[in-house]
Amino acid sequence: MRRLGLATCSVLALTLVACGYSEEEMQARIQRIDELEGQLRESQQQNEQAQARIGALETQNQELGQRLRALGQEVEGLESERSGLQDSLADTQRALEELRARERQQQERLAVFRNMLSRFRQMIDSGRLRVRIVRGRMVIELSSSILFDSGRDELRDEGREALSEIVTVLNTIDNRQFQVAGHTDNVPMRSSRFPSNWELSASRAVNVARFMIEQGMSAERISAAGYADTQPVSSNSTAEGRAQNRRIEIAMMPNLDELPDLSSLASEGGAS
């Protein structure tokens, strides 16, 4: 520790002598003052070091604050991105579930179609009917020559027998509706009973549907329609083509859950 200067000590000694202190007391006082000055200098150094540490800590605190704010922005960005990814994942899962549901429906429809083909195989092989897929629907097609005489709508015995076998198969298929459709060639039909092919095709379809109901088909599952010559399957320019166009079709109608959802178009069309 630094000692008091010579001049200072002399002045202090004279002061202490004047106050009546002995030499020993004077030396003790001077030593004590020197110790206090040393402690004061040490305290000043510690204070300076503390101030320096406070300044460094404040700088670190500012840096940490900046880093935390930046980190908070990053966290907000990550949260937003995670939310977007979760929404996207949920949409993907819903789309996948819908796709799986449609695939199950398709497999079920295929199983029904295969079962019908198997049950109708004997009638197909004998030429009494054929089965086609038209616009995603299974269609059972019978020639009008099997069912009706030319220009008439009364069922022949051969036609009744064929329809009875068809009803037996269709009654094994649950939750399905069927439409009987009458078709003709383009040769004009003019009679007091049937003014045109429209009336003939519609009357034939109604009689087929009525007979199928009599054979045990639920009336709620069947409908009838006449198309005249508007949906030919062959050319009407040949006798063979016209014969193919004169037919009765029994179409398996799609269920509502197999149809596209058009509810979003309701507002566009003014529906409520």
Q: Cβ(142)–Cβ(195) under 8 Å?
A: no
Mean pLDDT, residues 1-13 taken together? 51
Q: Cβ(117)–Cβ(270) under 8 Å?
A: no
The structure's pTM equals: 0.60
Least trusted range by pLDDT, from 204-208, 242-246, 260-264: 260-264
- Distance separating alpha carbons of residues 266 and 170, to the nearest angstrom: 35
Rounded percentage of the chain residues whose pLDDT exceeds 90: 36
Q: Which amino acid is at 198?
A: W
Classified by CATH at the fold level, domain 120-256 comes out as 60s Ribosomal Protein L30; Chain: A; (3.30.1330)
- The angle subtended at Cα 255 by Cα 249 and Cα 261, nearest 5°, is 125
Measured in whole angstroms, the distance separating CA 98 from the mean position of its chain's CA atoms is 6
Q: What residues have CB less than 8 Å from 211, skipping those under 6 apart?
A: 155, 160, 163
Confidence check: pLDDT of 265 > 60: no
Higher pLDDT among residues 186 and 72, named by residue? 186
What pLDDT is attached to residue 1? 41
Domain coordinates in residue numbering, the chain: 21-105, 120-256
Q: What residues have CB less than 8 Å from 133, skipping those under 6 apart?
A: 113, 139
- Distance separating alpha carbons of residues 202 and 228, to the nearest angstrom: 8
